[in-house]
A and B are shown apart, each in its own frame.
Chain A
Amino acid sequence: MSSLRLLSSVARNARISSSPAVLKRGYAEATDKIKLSLVLPHQSIFTSQDVVQVNLSAVTGDMGVLANHIPTVESLRPGTLEVIESEGTSKKWFVSGGFATVHPNNSLTINAVEAAPLEDFSAEAVRANLAEAQKVANGNGSEEDKLEASIEVGVYEALQYALSSK
Chain B
Amino acid sequence: QLDAFVVLASGEISYSSQQCSNFMTIYTIIQTVTLIPGDGIGPEISTAVMKIFEAAKAPIQWEERNVTAIKGPGGRWMIPPEAKESMNKNKIGLKGPLKTPIAAGHPSMNLLLRKTFDLYANVRPCVSIEGYKTPYTDVDLVTIRENTEGEYSGIEHLIVDGVVQSIKLITEEASRRIAKYAFEYARNNQRTSVTAVHKANIMRMSDGLFLRKCREVAENYKDVKFTEMYLDTVCLNMVQDPSHFDILVMPNLYGDILSDLCAGLIGGLGVTPSGNIGANGVAIFESVHGTAPDIAGKDLANPTALLLSAVMMLRHMGLHGHAKKIETACFDTIRDEKVLTKDLGGNAKCSEFTADICRRVQDMD
A, B from the same assembly: no
Which residues of A approach B to under 8 Å, CB–CB?
none
| Chain B contact residues, CB within 8 Å of chain A | none
